[in-house]
Structure 1
Amino acid sequence: MTLETFFHENPRVALAFSGGVDSAYLLYAARACGAQVRAYYVQTAFQPAFEREDALRLARELGAEMTVLPLDILDREEVCANPPQRCYHCKRAIFSAILQAAAADGFDLVIDGTNASDDAGDRPGMRALRELSVRSPLRECGLTKAEIRARSREAGLFTWDKPAYACLATRIPTGEVITAEKLAATETAEAELTALGFSDFRVRLLDGCARIQVRPEQLALVLERREEILQKLKPYYRAVVLDLEVRGE
């Protein structure tokens, strides 16, 4: 199946929109295929401000309708307790909010940007999508991450080379309670490192310390900007350490 076929068969869709590479291309494709699509961005404490700004910018550039739905995710014990299945509970909450808002706006189908490169066995949140009957056109059409980036570049989307970004909650070890303060410290720390020239990195919480993970090609930059990094991050962490392993999500 192609995206053209999907949107011909489903001409009215609500899109779970994050502002990332995949959902950005899906929004573009839906409009290019003539579908009536509305993007829904769920704002929680897990999303940094730049993600919302990217989402708003793309919707504006594409002339697409976008609704921002505030959600107090930290009000949910099953999420902020940070159990191994946190992602499942979080996805259930987020997509339930989208389904409710979309239904009120007259949309019967909700889609998301899961692609063919995403391993279902490695994505706890996918179970929530299946249970809520959320469809993933990119995955159904066999489009991989590399193909989506290439198509996004061809379409002129500024998101085509945007690094993959997992939510702020992934920076806190499983089993450690998630708080607004810990999330705010993480967001601030990562914003500070971005301003210092780092990209595609993580600042993880480890026993009150900031554990920095960067790509190998940016290790030299860590040493070059060492004093600035310490100055920026020490107000929020007990210590600042460098993890020599390549970062994960």
Structure 2
Amino acid sequence: MSVFDKLDFLKTNIKALGSAAVAFSGGVDSSLLLKVAYDVLGNGVVAVTAHSSTYPEREMNEAKEFTANYGIKHRIIDSDELEVKGFSDNPVNRCYLCKNELYDKIQLVAKEENVKYILEGSNHDDLGDYRPGFQAVSEHGVLSPLKDALLTKDEIRFLSKEMGLKSWDKPAFACLSSRFPYGEKITHQRLRMIDRAEQLLLDLGFKQVRVRFHGDIARIEVGQEQFLKFTDNEIREKVYSEFKKIGFMYTALDLKGYRTGSMNEGLTL
């Protein structure tokens, strides 16, 4: 099946729903899902974005800009995962706890907006990683149209570019809680540390970044093609000194570079 056949399949499936609330993070996947849903359902679609300490303000601003640009109704809900029982202890099912609370709240929005279905943006590639959030998706009857259409990340980027979406080459993003090893306590202060550190790297011109929290050590993941930027003495010294101000005693560069789910590499499930 060609990528355009998959797109047709996606449109047909969504159109049959009649109306939907889309869990919208502003990322590549949910942006394509929302735009396609809006194209086929029009005002029968509402985007829902959660505002929380695990979600940087820059991501929220981009989500707002996207919906405003296309005139899509956008509901922003407050969510504080750290108040969810057990979440701050960072267990291996952390994502389930988060998504369970999120979909509870989106269900309330869907009811208020008189829409029957909730959609989320997982894609076909997501099946290859540990994703405890899928349990919450299943329990709440949330639909995953991109995954059902067998669309991969590369295909989603391609279609996004074809449709003129600014998000087509946006770096992959996951909530800031994913920067902590399982079992490492998550706090508001530590989340702010990670947010400030990643924003610094982005401001210095790094595109795809992760700053992983290991106590007083910050482990930086960037694309391997950007390793050479750290040979610049000025950049290297600035990162070191600013990270120390943020609260990291030591700063390390991960030699394997950026990859999704690096905190899952030590799991034995």
TM over 0.5: yes
2:23 alignment counterpart: 16
Q: 1:81–1:178: 8 Å Cα contact kept in structure 2?
A: yes
Query: In structure 2, how many angstroms separate the alpha carbons of the residues matched to 1:124 and 1:56?
Result: 28
Q: 1:15–1:40: 8 Å Cα contact kept in structure 2?
A: yes
* Superposition pairs of residues 37-52 of structure 1, within 5 angstroms: 37-52=45-60
1:200 alignment counterpart: 208
2:192 alignment counterpart: 184
Q: 2:221–2:257: 8 Å Cα contact kept in structure 1?
A: yes
Query: In structure 2, how many angstroms separate the alpha carbons of the residues matched to 1:150 and 1:243?
Result: 29
Say whether residues 1:25 and 2:32 are aligned partners.
Answer: yes
Query: In structure 2, how many angstroms separate the alpha carbons of the residues matched to 1:173 and 1:138?
Result: 29
Query: In structure 1, how many angstroms separate the alpha carbons of the residues matched to 2:40 and 2:215?
Result: 49
1:86 alignment counterpart: 94
Kindly state the Cα deviation for residue 207 of structure 1 after the two structures are TM-superposed: 2.3
Aligned length: 249
Q: 2:217–2:248: 8 Å Cα contact kept in structure 1?
A: yes
2:144 paired residue among 136, 140, 162? 136
Runs of 4+ with >4 A deviation: none
Query: Secondary structure of 2:125's match?
Result: coil
Q: Residue 207 and residue 34 in structure 1: after superposition, are their counterparts in 2 closer, same or farther (change >3 A)?
A: closer
Query: Secondary structure of 2:225's match?
Result: helix
Query: Secondary structure of 2:181's match?
Result: coil
Unaligned runs of 5+ in 1: none
Using the size of structure 1 for normalisation, the TM-score is 0.96
Say whether residues 1:234 and 2:234 are aligned partners.
Answer: no
Q: 2:15–2:37: 8 Å Cα contact kept in structure 1?
A: no
Name the % identity: 36
The amino acid of 2:18's aligned partner reads P
| 1:132-152 Cα shifts (integer Å, max 9, x gaps) | 100011111222211111111
Stretch of structure 1 that moved more, 74-83 or 128-137: 74-83
* Superposition pairs of residues 84-233 of structure 1, within 5 angstroms: 84-119=92-127, 122-224=130-232, 225-233=235-243
Q: Residue 108 and residue 34 in structure 1: after superposition, are their counterparts in 2 closer, same or farther (change >3 A)?
A: closer
Kindly state the Cα deviation for residue 120 of structure 1 after the two structures are TM-superposed: 6.3
Kindly state the Cα deviation for residue 121 of structure 1 after the two structures are TM-superposed: 5.7
Using the size of structure 2 for normalisation, the TM-score is 0.89
Q: 2:224–2:258: 8 Å Cα contact kept in structure 1?
A: no
Query: In structure 2, how many angstroms separate the alpha carbons of the residues matched to 1:222 and 1:167?
Result: 25
Q: Give the alignment's Cα RMSD to 1 decimal.
A: 1.3
| 1:32-68 Cα shifts (integer Å, max 9, x gaps) | 1134100000111111111111111110111100011
Kindly state the Cα deviation for residue 3 of structure 1 after the two structures are TM-superposed: 2.0
| 1:197-226 Cα shifts (integer Å, max 9, x gaps) | 111121111121111112211111022111
